[in-house]
């Protein structure tokens, strides 16, 4: 039994066996659509999956798999239920952030770092930090760009904080909801080996936004080329985390749907960063349109600021 | 009351006596009998408690006075005065200006509630209102900074005034964060302290930013 259990743990996809062994466990984090018969196990050893499998050979992950199945059993109206989503230590949060900033090709963020313990701390506070970082950096960058100009008065632009907050929190929570719904729908039509729970998708999206925090700070530099280079760089990093997470979940599906899904994920991510750059940061070489209307009869000169 | 179900008093036993509480078991509160004292005493007592907590914040030592006898008067007074002082910031249009009174209020109270929930969800042992009390009282250095900024802005708004304001705000921000961390850190699980301290840092940073970017009419 031990060999069977160990083997099935190494095969991350066979959590269905876990459920069969322990039917009383409430598993929220890993959804398994169907049990895979043992004679099809060879099919699973494709090259693409071996890299995923070799992450999970340690004993610690075995224990976390076992415990994860029995963790979240408090009813949803108690405080303890929500405490299970904050069951992370400092080093775990830092590890997850590191994993999102330095994506290793072929290693799946969810499997490597989340491992059935999705937390809400990271997504929530990374989004909060990003909101204020973008608002503050945008304000600072506008200040430095317009600094020498005579018609410029500094304004704190506090209203932009609420706009930033709405945008970023909507992106980090509604897009995962839509994506999760879509993946669930496809799972009912096509048997996918890998599927994620809603919280894991929220986790991936939240941690993938971390790279934008230093990017937003560096966007203060008022050079168009620098800003675009930074944006493409951070888009590649966080986009690759998302792609490597979601490609295994859709690659068994119709080719076009799989590509369309992954493409949409990347496109929305790009839209977010382009939109933030365009809205919160003024273009560096904007000319103050201060047209001097030639005075008629020596009357006053009208200058228009902004 | 299940045990009393089978208790009954037969009708031929007279029931008589006095139903009064014996004098010896009076609770300490009844000794106070605050209903009879002059109103001035009542108000002064609360004011002294609030003042004592202000002193504890300005000289943060590990004392439990702030935690044990929490009250929300101090935070309310500080929040209202900070929000009032942040008024009068100018803008060409309403969208570009500084935070309005309601926005400051919401940022402070909603931020404090979120941080308290965060620390409780991470396993902290402090109670909800105690944490709100500490976070609210530790806004005191920033309120002092706002006062100083307004006075400095009366004198002028050039580069020197900006540097003075920057130094004052940074110093008060550090003071606030350190004071609240000193009070709150002990109640957190040891391997999650940084997770709890970071939102407090963010909270006071946002308030400091609002103070620093205040530009008068």
Residue B54 lies in a domain: no
Inform me whether the pLDDT recorded for B15 exceeds 80: no
Of all residues in chain A, the percent with pLDDT exceeding 70 is 69
Predicted pLDDT of residue A47: 43
Who's near B15: CB < 8 A, 6+ residues apart? B9
**Arithmetic mean of pLDDT, B2-31:** 62
- Per-residue pLDDT band for A41 (boundaries 50, 70, 90) equals very low
Q: Which pLDDT does position A273 carry in this prediction?
A: 92
Residue A88 has what pLDDT? 87
Distance from CA of B214 to the nearest CA of A (A): 7
Q: Give mean pLDDT, residues A23-48.
A: 45
Residue B17 lies in a domain: no
Lowest mean pLDDT among A234-238, A277-281, A289-293, B47-51: A289-293
Say which of A83, A89, A132 has its CB closest to residue B206. A132
**How far is it, in rounded angstroms, from Cα B149 to Cα A158?**
19
Q: Say what the pLDDT of residue A189 is.
A: 82
Confidence of residue A125 (pLDDT cuts 50, 70, 90): very high
For A169-200, the pLDDT digits (tens) are 999 999 999 999 988 888 888 776 777 888 88
B181: pLDDT strictly greater than 50: yes
Give A57's pLDDT tier (boundaries 50, 70, 90): very low
Give the pLDDT confidence score for residue A165 in this predicted structure: 92
Check B195 against A121: CB less than 8 A apart: yes
Domain extents in chain A: 90-281
User: Does residue B123 come out as left (phi exceeding 0), alpha (psi in the -120 to 50 range) or beta?
Assistant: left
- DSSP, collapsed to helix, strand or coil, labels residue A300 as coil
B80: left (phi over 0), alpha (psi -120 to 50) or beta: alpha
B23 in a structural domain: no
B47 pLDDT exceeds 60?
yes
Angle at Cα A132 formed by Cα B152 and Cα A243, nearest 5°? 160
pLDDT tier for residue A28 given thresholds of 50, 70 and 90: low
pLDDT value at position B42?
84
CB pairs < 8 Å spanning A and B: 72
Q: Calculate how close chain B gets to A145, using CA atoms only, in Å.
A: 16
Contact B120 A129 (CB under 8 A): no
Pick the residue from chain B with its C-alpha nearest to A94.
Answer: B195
Query: What's the gap in Å between the CA of A144 and the closest CA on chain B?
Result: 14
Q: Cβ contacts (< 8 Å) between B173 and chain A: which residues?
A: none
Mean pLDDT to the nearest integer, B36-56 = 86
Q: Smallest CA–CA separation between A63 and chain B, in Å?
A: 21
Residues 128-157 of A with CB under 8 A from B: 128-129, 132, 136, 139, 153-157
CA A246 to each of CA A74, A234, B12, B53: distance values in angstroms, whole numbers, following the listed order:
29, 18, 84, 53
Higher pLDDT, B1 or B135: B135
- Flag whether B163 is in a domain: yes
Determine the pLDDT at residue B27. Answer: 52
Residues of B with CB below 8 A from A136's CB? 209
Residue in B89, B202, B215 nearest the CB of A128: B202
Give the whole-angstrom CA distance, residue B79 versus residue A232: 42
Q: Which of B203, B213, B215 has the most A C-beta neighbours within 10 Å, making it the best mutation to test the interface with A?
A: B213
Q: Report which of B131, B119, B134 is spatially closest to residue B74, judged by C-alpha positions.
A: B134
Q: What is the mean pLDDT of residues A94-113?
A: 83
Question: If you average pLDDT over residues A132-141, what whole number do you get?
Answer: 92
Q: Within 10 Å of residue A89's Cβ, how many Cβ atoms?
A: 15
Decide if pLDDT at A102 tops 90. Answer: no
> Band of the pLDDT at A18, cuts 50, 70, 90?
low
User: Is residue B177 one of the residues assigned to a domain?
Assistant: yes
Query: In angstroms, what separates the C-alpha of A115 from chain B's closest C-alpha?
Result: 19
Give the model's pLDDT for residue B6. Answer: 65
Structural domain of residue B182, as residue ranges? Answer: 62-88+98-213
The average pLDDT across A33-41 equals 43
Share of chain B above pLDDT 70, in %: 80
Which of B95, B205, B215 has its CB closest to that of A154? B215
Q: Inter-chain contact B122–A121, Cβ cutoff 8 Å?
A: yes
Distance CA A220, CA A213 (A): 12
Confidence band, pLDDT 50/70/90 cuts, at residue A37: very low
Residues 155-194 of A with CB under 8 A from B: 155-159
Residue B183 lies in a domain: yes
What integer pLDDT is reported at residue A290 of this predicted model?
52
Residues of A in contact with B96 (CB under 8 A): 155-157, 159
Distance CA A118, CA A85 (A): 7
Residues 6+ apart with CB under 8 A from A276: A134, A164, A167, A212, A216
B205·A132 Cβ contact <8 A: yes
Question: Given pLDDT bands bounded at 50, 70 and 90, which one contains residue A154?
Answer: confident
pLDDT tens per residue across span B61-83: 766 666 778 888 889 999 999 99
Q: How many domains does chain B have?
A: 1
The strand pairing partners of A196, in sequence order, are A30
List, for residues A207-262, the tens digit of each pLDDT value: 999 999 999 999 998 889 999 999 999 999 999 999 888 888 888 778 888 888 89
pLDDT of residue A144: 87
């Amino acid at each position: 039994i031990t060999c069977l259990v160990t083997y099935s743990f190494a095969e991350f996809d066979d959590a269905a066996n876990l459920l069969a062994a322990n039917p009383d466990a409430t598993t929220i984090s890993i959804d398994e659509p169907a049990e895979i018969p043992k004679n099809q196990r060879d099919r699973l050893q494709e090259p693409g999956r071996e890299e995923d499998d070799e992450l999970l050979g340690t004993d610690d992950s075995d224990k976390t798999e076992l415990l994860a199945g029995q963790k979240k059993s408090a009813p949803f109206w108690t405080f303890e239920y929500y405490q299970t989503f904050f069951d992370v230590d400092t080093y775990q949060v830092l590890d997850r952030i590191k994993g999102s900033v330095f994506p290793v090709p072929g290693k799946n963020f969810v499997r490597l770092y989340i491992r059935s313990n999705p937390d809400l701390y990271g997504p929530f506070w990374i989004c909060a930090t990003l909101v204020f970082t973008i608002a503050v950096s945008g304000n600072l960058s506008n200040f430095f760009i317009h600094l020498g100009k005579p018609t410029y008065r500094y304004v704190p632009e506090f209203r932009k904080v609420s706009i930033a907050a709405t945008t970023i929190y909507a992106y980090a929570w509604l897009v995962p909801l839509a994506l999760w719904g879509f993946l669930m729908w496809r799972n009912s039509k096509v048997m996918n080996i890998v599927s994620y729970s809603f919280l894991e998708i929220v986790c991936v999206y939240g941690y993938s936004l971390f790279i934008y925090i230093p990017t937003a700070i560096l966007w203060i530099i008022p050079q168009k080329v620098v800003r675009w280079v930074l944006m493409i760089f951070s888009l590649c990093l966080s986009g690759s985390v998302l792609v490597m997470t979601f490609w295994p979940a859709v690659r068994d599906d119709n080719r076009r749907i799989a590509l369309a899904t992954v493409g949409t994920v990347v496109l929305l991510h790009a839209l977010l960063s382009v939109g933030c750059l365009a809205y919160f940061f003024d273009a560096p070489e904007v000319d103050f349109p201060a047209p001097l209307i030639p005075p008629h009869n020596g009357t006053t000169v009208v200058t228009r600021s902004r | 009351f299940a045990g009393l179900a089978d208790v009954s008093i037969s009708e031929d036993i007279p029931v008589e006596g006095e139903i009064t509480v014996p004098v010896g078991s009076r609770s300490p509160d009844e000794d106070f009998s605050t209903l009879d004292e002059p109103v001035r005493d009542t108000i002064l007592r609360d004011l002294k408690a609030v003042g004592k907590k202000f002193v504890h914040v300005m000289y943060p030592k590990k004392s439990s006075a702030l935690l044990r006898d929490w009250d929300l008067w101090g935070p309310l007074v500080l929040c209202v005065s900070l929000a009032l002082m942040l008024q009068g910031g100018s803008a060409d249009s309403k969208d570009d200006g500084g935070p309005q009174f309601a926005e400051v209020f919401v940022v402070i109270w909603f931020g404090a509630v979120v941080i308290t929930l965060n620390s409780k969800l991470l396993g902290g042992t402090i109670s909800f209102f105690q944490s709100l009390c500490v976070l609210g009282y530790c806004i005191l250095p920033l309120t002092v900074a706002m006062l100083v900024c307004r006075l400095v802005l009366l004198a002028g708004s050039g580069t020197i005034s900006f540097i003075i304001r920057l130094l004052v705000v940074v110093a008060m921000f550090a003071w606030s964060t350190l004071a609240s961390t000193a009070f709150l850190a002990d109640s957190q699980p040891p391997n999650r302290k940084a997770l709890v301290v970071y939102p407090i840092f963010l909270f006071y940073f946002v308030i400091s930013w609002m103070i620093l970017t205040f530009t008068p009419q």
